[in-house]
Chains A and B, each alone.
Chain A
Amino acid sequence: MFFEIDILIRRSGRTVHGDFKALSGLTALFGPSGSGKTSVLDAVAGLLKPERGRIAVDGRVLFDSDAGIDLAPEQRACGYVFQDGRLFPHRTVTQNLLFGWNLAPPDRRWMTPEDAIDFLGIDHLLDRMPRTLSGGEAQRVAIGRALLSGPRCLLMDEPLASLDEARREEIMRVIEKVRDELRLPILYVSHDRGEVERLADHVVPIHPK
């Protein structure tokens, strides 16, 4: 199993139970808004500490409350693509792309910046500032930034949510390419059934408690 997750998250009075195992490919965490899907992603990324449980990715334990293991986010090698892109506003597209690349140990860099730029078709954006990008452009750059940080898996939090129909199709194709050509395991959060049916190899329902 690639993702082995069994965690209990308590957040602002709500309890989220994330309990699933998944092979590589694209695993969709599917559930209504407010069910705590994003909290599960944040816990895998190390941005949110679960109350208890265990998270392992590709056999590597990232969190285990019983064993007292809690790796810092920068040690987890999980590329995170946020709903809003979340590009650094004070840096150009190039600087955003290279942020994680420069920090990654050379042996974990499995993609070169040139390949990523080519793969995502963003070479005309390189000198732009994030605020001048459209939603679709920003999301491409955000995916590139995550891919270049040398991740072992990709976490995607509703990456299509803030896009119009045409851009959704465009980014959906990019995600399919990441899934099929790069063969990078993806945890994908969505509340959109059509999206999940098209993209997901496995579906994990997340229910609010």
Chain B
Amino acid sequence: MLSPEEWQIVALSLRVSFLAILCTLPVAFGLAWLLARKRFAGKIVLDALVHLPLVLPPVVTGWLLLIVFGANGPVGKLLHDLFGMTLMFRWTGAALAAAIMALPLMVRAMRLSLEAVDQRYEGAARTLGAGPWRTFFEVTLPLASPGIVAGMVLGFARSIGEFGATITFVSNIPGETRTLPLAIYTSLQLPGNEAAVTRLALISVALSLGALLLSEVLARRGGLGSDGAKGSHVL
């Protein structure tokens, strides 16, 4: 059904998105924790900055990434000098672009799930002898986990579809940075490629729809807290 080249595009897209989500996870969770639980000066500014990629034209995000992570950018130069690492025009750069674009969605979902955790359960755990870390891992995290996983799935779906920032930052290199949306765009530029476009587009729809459905299912399985959700008769 798919040509080897198209399989390669799908595999690259998945690889880029998985790396993006894996790297974003700790950052997004940390930000979500700060925004949900802490009070500090400049919280509104941090909140706005996190959401910026959601509203900024993606091409601007890509351009900013070029400035910061490009060969002469402050971080790009540092990475190159210290680790001999280049993100520009590499699939890892595509993952960075996808990660930045997925960040706001992931932070949002995780923040909501953390805010929904009734902190009185944490107090109860403390009186039963659990320190702050144990309380976090045995009470807070399990109660927030459906939202956290839902956020990851949502971020993954967003990463799969990432176009503007990616093409600006890492260009459109076959086998390296040509992910699904970039491949569709490329195919559209050439006449007589309708079949290929259709195949790639269908894969995109399937991946995104699957991720959304999964995210919805996970979010519903959550809410273990006050309102008796489904799955109550598990044991």
Binding site for B on A (CB under 8 A): 45-47, 72-74, 76-80, 82, 86, 88-90, 92, 99-100, 103-104, 127-129, 131-132, 145-146, 149-150, 155
Contacts A86-B120, A88-B139, A129-B232; A103 near B128 (Cβ below 8 A): yes
| CB contact under 8 A between A89 and B127, given known A82-B120, A129-B234 | no
C-alpha gap A150/B215 in the complex (Å): 41
Decide if B11 is an interface residue (CB 8 Å cutoff).
Answer: no
Closest chain-B Cβ to A124's Cβ sits at a distance in Å of: 14
Report the nearest A residue to B223, measured CB to CB.
A89
A125 to chain B, nearest CB (A): 11
Complex CA gap A51/B131 in Å reads 23
Cross-chain contact A86 with B124 (CB below 8 angstroms): yes
Inside 8 A of B233's CB, which chain A residues have their CB? 129, 132
Q: How far is the CB of B178 from chain A (nearest CB, A)?
A: 43
Could you count the A-B residue pairs with CB atoms below 8 Å apart for me: how many are there?
Answer: 72
Complex: A127 Cα to B228 Cα, angstroms:
17
Q: Which residue of A lies closest to B231 (CB)?
A: A129
Hey, which bits of chain B sit against chain A, CB under 8 A? 120-121, 123-131, 134, 138-139, 142-143, 224-226, 228, 232-235
Query: Could you say which residues of chain B place their CB within 8 Å of the CB of A128?
Result: 235
Question: Contacting B235 at CB < 8 Å: which of A77, A92, A145?
Answer: A92
A106 CB to closest chain B CB (Å) equals: 13
CB distance from B19 to the nearest CB of A (A): 31
Give Cα A72 to B138, complex, Å.
Answer: 18
Interface contact B126-A47, CB-CB below 8 Å: yes
A149 to B129, CA, bound (A): 7
A45 in contact with B127 (CB, 8 Å): yes
Partner of A46, one of B125, B126, B142, B143: B126
A146 neighbours in B (Cβ, 8 Å): 127-128
> Which residues in A have their C-beta under 8 angstroms from that of B126?
46-47, 72-74
CB pairs A–B below 8 angstroms (19 shown) = A46-B127, A47-B126, A72-B131, A73-B126, A76-B127, A77-B129, A79-B127, A88-B124, A89-B143, A89-B226, A99-B125, A99-B130, A100-B129, A103-B128, A127-B235, A129-B232, A129-B235, A149-B128, A150-B129
